[in-house]
Amino acid sequence: MLRITKKVKGIFGRIKGERGFTLVELLIVLAIIGVLASIAVPSITKAVNSAKEKACQANIMAIEAAAHLYYVDNNTYPAKVEDLKDYFKDSEIPECPFGANYEYKIDSTTGEVTHSHTPQQSQ
């Protein structure tokens, strides 16, 4: 019993004491952090892309809904997405979360919104 207590004290004493960590201990900690990071980074990237994809689909649906409202008011669909400004809060038409280079385009005969960026399929 006395031996175990001494051993436990020894471990905590070493951590709390001024001796610090050995190189091997630091390397083990760094290796564990590296393994965790290599597991976390790809899944975080995947989750971010999946969220952007869903936001883009929601944008398309919102623009199409605005196009239908425009149709009710004007008896025709808008020629371009910019014509729908009045149907969004603060006149801001939603932008593709993947970047401003990807424009939403609208079919003026059906009100269907097409999108120039190919959505990344989330698995």
Under the rule (CB under 5 A), what is the footprint of Zn ion? Answer: 56, 96, 102, 117
- Residue 96 or 106: which CB sits closer to Zn ion? 96
* C-alpha separations of 114 from 8, 16, 41, 73 in Å: 67, 63, 32, 22
**Quick one: 53 or 83, whose CB is closer to Zn ion?**
53
Per-residue exposure over 66-80, b if at least 16 CB sit within 10 Å of its own CB, e if not = bbeebeeeeeebbee
> Helices marked H in the chain — which ranges?
2-16, 23-74
Q: How far is the CB of 85 from Zn ion (least distance, A)?
A: 19
Shortest distance, position 113 Cβ to Zn ion, whole Å: 11
User: Which residue number, 9 or 105, has a Cβ lying nearer to Zn ion?
Assistant: 105
Task: Specify burial of residue 106 (Cβ count, 10 A radius: 0-12, 13-18, 19+).
Answer: buried
Shortest Å, Cβ 60 to Zn ion: 8
Of the pair 38, 101, the CB lying nearest Zn ion is at 101
Number of CB atoms found within 10 A of residue 59's CB:
18
What is the closest distance, in whole angstroms, from the C-beta atom of residue 14 to Zn ion in the complex? 55
